[in-house]
């Protein structure tokens, strides 16, 4: 099997770090017992490992094809997607009142990770449907919900998000697509949208496009953007799809990776206007989109974790098979499998440590989201909401940047074979590269982390995290294992130092973001990565404590967890100081910032 | 122009850091005046910018094609290569007695950088010819030199290196290709070689394959490897090519990048044996190959610098054109070109700092090679030889690892457009990925750096470098600029700390490589990167001192050099401590190394 869902690792994180027991006790999750969760993961793992994963390379080698406005998916994709829909997987974490299974986000996140690891190109399709569902749940009218949600939640129809235009990428204020109100209350939409993932395909019977556009009298800039629903086939009152709407796919992009996922250029209104309906109120589109984007950004972070896991599994298999060179310690007189060479170990250990740390942080964030939604106490909900919001740009930015590095290490472990496309390692390296870009680049995430998440509340959430990490540092020191366990010592030392670097960076941002924004934002990506490394280290330290406690139950499994935490402490956490230097020491990179444009 | 050779930067490095004046005063370089060097670079820059560079994307989109054993190069390549041959560029740094221009390696390195930046796929062809020339110069008989060198040095014929076999990559001891001695003193060669760059093509009239193989009675392992010359067309006593030899290209690889360079599988001896001649003595093949490999590894390091420079130029152009979002400091009410955003500045500054530092280190190494070859004093030659040998694995390993990171930043600066193949940024990211692998992976380079270059002489060369760097640290502090120049302060602080980390790592290697090789080699890649960062920082500090001195002559140019050094100090040098932690702190990564294979 080319991908085996790491269910045991996932359950370890869910139970030991993300508090699965507390999540399933939240109101509304009565059906989600620990046993249910495990069997959901196992079923998801089967679908992903057996049906989706073998098609991953197929999608890469036989990309989606555009012809005369129609897009045919890669061979096998439609059938694999059918299995997904028939299994009810689209609705795992959506409300049961619209036909979903109503499971916690924590469980949904693990399922999405598996889908993305198995076949990232295919998995982006239902992920965008999730976005459309979120938007309708948040801002749709009751009638809209009734008409669209059941078929979206079942997976019968898919969804898209239409933000980007050629001149408007990160800068949505520049968008020009216009929507004209008709006498019947509907709108006619005109314009060109680019980079629309799964913007056209025939795997589902209808596609529900969510489109940002301006009404003629809207204010300029981001305050004049509204959100419209434009279906590929018009939908009647009873939710049946009929006539083709005036939205057309004029081409798909030729991309470096993720080629199984068609990226469409959509043309609205060439034949009189695409018929759309307003979602929520006029001029509040960006506000709705931001709420949706939180979920979408979290999902893209999960994609990074997924691709890192898959790259790790591939490199691990190769390292256990490929025989090359004698061991440096002279312990064998013949060539050995390369997993026995120290640098291959170091690379595999680093890949695994980064993957596990980012998974742990993402799942912990998902649990906070579940508590933020369902906790009976309003103050607790607010607290969890704040933590989730703080973590999302980190999950998005850090996990995806990490995935590029991990996929690159995966290629390196394969040596020359890694560069040959048939091997498959290169695909992960190519696919991963979009992740730190789409749904907001890492710089956009770091702007969010600084502005909305750190500075706006005066650093309250950041400081609460620093406090929690400090408690884990103390717990390491207080553990009976501390005296003679090198992993504990290394983690204690580097997590304490990392937490101090994080605290210094938070203080720097609080001081400078207002009065010297260039200085703050020049260090933004470093701040995001520093936060990721330290928050990931916090989770690895908690995993270390848990595995030490559970060691006797499963020495091989927990021994590996301890070694992986040790590896994280030595190879990843020490980078925190370098990022601190790039923020606090660099004082906003005065060197490059001060330079005249012509000097570049 | 899609690539403009950075001649002014190159000359700055050659003159201010690599001691061009001293190099051209060495015996035998009488013709190489500073004016000659400049005009050579300008001519090379023209060829590369005007003829080679526009074909770079062509090679990517229309790769070399194999058909019935014949390989046709990408459109335009043959003509572009003809310009190169006609201009005498193959012979720039080769001896005039065989028709070369006999210029220093320092000048040759700059020309090679330009060729690789302009069109890496095409440039690898003459680079392999350089390898064949080096091998013949070192170990060929007079008759062989007479027969082969003039046509190789002129570029009329090209060369290849045949090392790898499916089961023998880094581990050449496993190779099986055999060579049987005939009564006439020639050999018949039988076997399969893979990963042979430009192993078959029709741009040159003949291809001179240098092939590692075993004679039937050779000792096992690496001590039984001999080096053979196997021409595609047999060559008579007068050096004329005639009948086709029994070597055939059975396929070329489908690679992630560098697709304009055909990577051949060569089959020797299917029709009775390929006729070859022994180079040097039997069973000394690996020894010769190692000497050649030093030059080849240096050249691959240059490829890394080249691709980083090209990726930087592309990203810079985009950043100056693309308009998106208002400045974070509120200095404009409209969207601005993205070069005005602090994170884009940080990325461009980092790309440039890494590129300039690795170029400076490579050129300084090249100058040491020139002194090692030509200095009249034997002791001075030995000293320069030791420094060059120490630097080569760093130039190879660090510059190529750096190039992957820089190309990745280049994609990031382009945002979503970076992922679209038509943009061109993705090609650099794909192409660069082979560089840390071929000619010896980064781990192989680090093994060399530890074993042969650091430990064998008891750390003598390493310690001499630590001393030299210490002197530059003092010079920074002693400079009148130190008091009020933030770049000086940052560089002083981080270079001093980096040098201490480097010294600690050297001490660790000297102590552990013998008694606990796993502990040493687990930290090998970290050691190589640490050495690269600190040696690169040393050169950036010297550049800083020089530009401060020369400031008035050209404020824009030298101001940019100072800002770039400042950027390097803040964004790159602080990583040294993290690498030290991964070596000294990790104590050989005991966490992952101790883990049982089954736990992965």
A518:B254 CB<8 A = no
A404:B404 CB<8 A = no
Residues on chain A touching B311 (C-beta within 8 angstroms): none
Give the separation between CA B223 and CA B215, rounded to whole angstroms.
Answer: 11
Check whether A591 has a pLDDT greater than 80. no
- Residues of B designated as active site: 439
pLDDT tens across B134-149, in order?
A: 999 999 999 999 999 9
Give every CB contact of residue A152 below 8 A, 6+ residues apart in sequence.
A90, A129, A132, A133, A136, A158, A159, A208
Q: Which residue of A has its CA nearest to B598?
A: A556
Residues on chain B touching A317 (C-beta within 8 angstroms): none
pLDDT tens across A498-521, in order?
A: 999 999 999 999 999 999 999 999
A430:B430 CB<8 A = yes
Helices (H), B322-441: 342-374, 378-413, 425-432
Distances in whole angstroms, Cα of residue A225 to Cα of each of A174, A213, A442, A547, B492: 10, 6, 24, 50, 51
Task: Classify residue B73 by its DSSP letter.
Answer: P
pLDDT tens across A201-227, in order?
A: 999 999 999 999 999 999 999 999 999
A582:B567 CB<8 A = no
Structure tokens at B454: 């650091």
Give the distance from residue A335's alpha carbon to the nearest chain B alpha carbon, in angstroms. 8
Tell me the count of A-B CB pairs closer than 8 A.
Answer: 307
Q: Which residue of A has its CA nearest to B172?
A: A325
For chain B, which residues make up each domain, given as ranges?
Answer: 7-65+73-153, 157-283, 449-592
Q: Which residue of B has its CA nearest to A255?
A: B420
Check whether A258 has a pLDDT greater than 70. yes
Confidence of residue A271 (pLDDT cuts 50, 70, 90): very high
Residues on chain B touching A6 (C-beta within 8 angstroms): none
Confidence of residue A554 (pLDDT cuts 50, 70, 90): very high
pLDDT tens across B38-73, in order?
A: 999 999 999 999 999 999 999 999 999 999 999 999
Give every CB contact of residue A221 below 8 A, 6+ residues apart in sequence.
A173
Under the phi-then-psi rule, with left for phi > 0, alpha for psi from -120 to 50, and beta for the rest, what region is B52? alpha
Task: Classify residue B218 by its DSSP letter.
Answer: P
Check whether B27 has a pLDDT greater than 80. yes
Strands B263-268 and B226-231, bridge-based pairing:
unpaired
Q: Which of B348, B521, B586 sits opposite A328 (nearest CB)?
A: B521
Q: Which residue of B has its CA nearest to A426?
A: B256
pLDDT tens across A300-344, in order?
A: 999 999 999 999 999 999 999 999 999 999 999 999 999 999 999
On whether any CB of chain B is under 8 Å from the CB of A332, the answer is no
Q: Which residue of B has its CA nearest to A439?
A: B416
Q: Which of B335, B585, B593 sits opposite A342 (nearest CB)?
A: B593
**Average pLDDT of span B26-36:** 91
**Average pLDDT of span B30-35:** 88
**A592, A594, A596: best to mutate for the B interface, most B CBs within 10 A:** A592
Q: Would you tell me the crossing angle of helices B120-139 and B77-86 to the nearest 10 degrees?
A: 40
The residues in A 181-240 lying below 8 A from B, measured between CB atoms, are 195
The residues in A 560-579 lying below 8 A from B, measured between CB atoms, are 560, 562-567, 569-571, 574-575, 577-578
Give the separation between CA A593 and CA A587, rounded to whole angstroms.
Answer: 10
Confidence (pLDDT) at B589: 61
Confidence of residue A589 (pLDDT cuts 50, 70, 90): low
Top pLDDT among A596 and A240 is at A240
pLDDT tens across A405-453, in order?
A: 999 999 999 999 999 999 999 999 999 999 999 999 999 999 999 999 9
Q: Which residue of B has its CA nearest to A443?
A: B343
Q: Which stretch of A288-292, A577-581, B358-362 has the lowest confidence by average pLDDT?
A: A288-292
pLDDT tens across A49-83, in order?
A: 999 999 999 999 999 999 999 999 999 999 999 99
Give the separation between CA A307 and CA A399, rounded to whole angstroms.
Answer: 10
Give the separation between CA B486 and CA B493, rounded to whole angstroms.
Answer: 11
Q: Which of B325, B581, B593 sits opposite A574 (nearest CB)?
A: B581
**Average pLDDT of span A214-242:** 94
Residues on chain A touching B559 (C-beta within 8 angstroms): 595-596, 599
B570:A564 CB<8 A = no
Give the separation between CA B338 and CA B344, rounded to whole angstroms.
Answer: 7
Among this protein's residues, is A439 annotated catalytic? yes
B521:A490 CB<8 A = no
Mean pLDDT of chain A: 96
Give the separation between CA A495 and CA A469, rounded to whole angstroms.
Answer: 8
**Average pLDDT of span B362-391:** 98
Contact B201, B71 (CB under 8 A): yes
Give the distance from residue A524's alpha carbon to the nearest chain B alpha carbon, in angstroms. 7
Give the separation between CA A570 and CA A568, rounded to whole angstroms.
Answer: 6
**Domain B7-65+73-153: CATH class, spelled out:** mainly alpha
**Average pLDDT of span B106-126:** 98
Residues on chain B touching A578 (C-beta within 8 angstroms): 574-575, 577-578
Catalytic residue among A42, A439, A471, A597: A439
Report the SS3 class of residue B502.
helix
Q: Which of B169, B345, B415 sits opposite A416 (nearest CB)?
A: B169
B415:A595 CB<8 A = no
Residue B212 sits at φ, ψ, to 5 deg, of: -85, 130
Confidence (pLDDT) at A588: 60
A575:B570 CB<8 A = no
Residues on chain A touching B486 (C-beta within 8 angstroms): 587, 590-591
Confidence (pLDDT) at B585: 83
Confidence of residue B593 (pLDDT cuts 50, 70, 90): confident
Give the distance from residue A66's alpha carbon to the nearest chain B alpha carbon, in angstroms. 16
Confidence (pLDDT) at A31: 81
Q: Which stretch of B332-341, B353-362, B460-469 has the lowest confidence by average pLDDT?
A: B332-341
On whether any CB of chain B is under 8 Å from the CB of A492, the answer is no
**B346, B347, B352, B513: best to mutate for the A interface, most A CBs within 10 A:** B346
Structure tokens at A510: 């609080």
Contact A123, A435 (CB under 8 A): no
On whether any CB of chain A is under 8 Å from the CB of B257, the answer is yes
pLDDT tens across B217-227, in order?
A: 999 999 999 99
Mean pLDDT of chain B: 96
Confidence (pLDDT) at B596: 82
Residues on chain B touching A335 (C-beta within 8 angstroms): 171, 173-174
**% pLDDT > 70, chain B:** 100
On whether any CB of chain A is under 8 Å from the CB of B404, the answer is yes
pLDDT tens across B507-536, in order?
A: 999 999 999 999 999 999 999 999 999 999
A324:B581 CB<8 A = no
Give every CB contact of residue B179 below 8 A, 6+ residues apart in sequence.
B187, B188, B189, B190, B211, B213, B214, B215, B226, B228, B276, B278
Residues on chain B touching A586 (C-beta within 8 angstroms): 490, 570-571
Fold of A157-283: Butyryl-CoA Dehydrogenase, subunit A; domain 2 (2.40.110)
The residues in A 357-376 lying below 8 A from B, measured between CB atoms, are none
Fold of A7-64+74-153: Butyryl-Coa Dehydrogenase, subunit A; domain 1 (1.10.540)
**% pLDDT > 90, chain B:** 94
Structure tokens at B289: 């190959």
A411:B433 CB<8 A = yes
pLDDT tens across B311-343, in order?
A: 999 999 999 999 999 999 999 999 999 999 999
Check whether A590 has a pLDDT greater than 80. no
On whether any CB of chain B is under 8 Å from the CB of A352, the answer is yes
């Amino acid at each position: 099997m080319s991908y085996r869902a790491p269910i045991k690792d996932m359950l370890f994180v869910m139970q030991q770090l993300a508090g699965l027991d507390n999540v399933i006790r939240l109101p509304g999750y009565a059906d989600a017992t620990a046993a249910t969760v495990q069997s959901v993961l196992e079923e998801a793992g089967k679908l992903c490992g057996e049906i989706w994963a073998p098609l991953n390379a197929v999608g890469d080698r036989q990309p989606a094809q555009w012809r005369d406005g129609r897009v045919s998916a890669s061979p096998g994709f439609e059938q694999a997607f059918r299995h997904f829909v028939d299994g009810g997987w689209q609705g795992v974490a959506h409300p049961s009142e619209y036909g979903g299974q109503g499971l916690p986000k924590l469980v949904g996140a693990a399922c999405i990770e598996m889908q993305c690891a198995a076949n990232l190109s295919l998995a982006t399709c239902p992920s965008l449907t999730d976005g459309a569902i979120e938007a309708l749940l948040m801002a749709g009218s009751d009638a809209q919900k009734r008409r669209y949600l059941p078929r979206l939640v079942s997976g019968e129809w898919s969804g898209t998000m239409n933000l980007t235009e050629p001149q408007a990428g990160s800068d949505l204020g520049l968008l020009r697509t216009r929507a004209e109100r008709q006498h019947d209350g509907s709108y006619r939409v005109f314009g060109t949208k680019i980079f629309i993932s799964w913007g056209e395909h025939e795997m589902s019977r209808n596609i529900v496009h969510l489109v940002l556009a301006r009404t003629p009298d809207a204010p300029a800039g981001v305050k004049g953007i509204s959100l419209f629903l434009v279906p590929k086939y018009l939908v009647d009152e009873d939710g049946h799809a009929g006539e083709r709407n005036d939205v057309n796919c004029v081409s798909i992009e030729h991309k470096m990776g993720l080629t199984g996922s068609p990226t469409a250029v959509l043309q609205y209104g060439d034949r009189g206007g695409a018929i759309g309906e307003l979602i929520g109120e006029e001029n509040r589109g960006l506000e709705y989109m931001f709420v949706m984007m939180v979920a979408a950004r979290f999902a893209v972070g999960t994609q990074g974790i997924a691709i890192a896991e898959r790259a790790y599994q591939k490199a691990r298999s190769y390292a256990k098979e490929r025989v090359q060179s004698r061991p440096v310690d002279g312990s064998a007189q013949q060539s050995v499998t390369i997993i026995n060479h120290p640098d291959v170990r170091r690379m595999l250990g680093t890949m695994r440590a980064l993957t596990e740390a980012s998974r742990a942080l993402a799942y912990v964030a998902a649990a906070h989201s579940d508590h933020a939604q369902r906790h009976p106490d309003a103050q607790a909900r607010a607290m969890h909401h704040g933590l989730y919001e703080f973590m999302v740009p980190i999950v998005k930015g850090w996990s995806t940047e990490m995935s590029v590095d991990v996929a690159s290490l995966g290629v390196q472990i394969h040596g020359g074979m890694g560069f040959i496309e048939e091997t498959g390692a290169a695909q992960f390296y190519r696919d991963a590269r979009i992740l730190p870009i789409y749904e907001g680049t890492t710089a956009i995430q770091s702007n969010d982390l600084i502005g909305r998440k750190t500075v706006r509340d005066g650093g309250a959430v950041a400081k609460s995290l620093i406090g929690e990490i400090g408690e884990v540092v103390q717990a390491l020191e207080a553990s009976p294992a501390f005296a003679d366990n090198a992993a504990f010592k290394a983690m204690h030392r580097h997590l304490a130092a990392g937490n101090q670097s994080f605290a210094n960076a938070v203080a720097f941002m609080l001081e400078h973001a207002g009065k010297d924004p260039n200085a703050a934002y020049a260090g933004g990506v470093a701040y995001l990565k520093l936060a990721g490394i330290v928050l990931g280290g916090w989770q690895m330290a908690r995993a270390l404590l848990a595995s030490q406690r559970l060691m006797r139950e499963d020495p091989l499994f927990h021994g590996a967890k301890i070694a992986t935490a040790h590896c994280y402490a030595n190879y990843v956490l020490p980078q925190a100081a370098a990022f601190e230097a790039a923020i606090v020491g660099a004082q906003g990179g005065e060197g490059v910032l001060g330079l005249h444009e012509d000097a570049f």
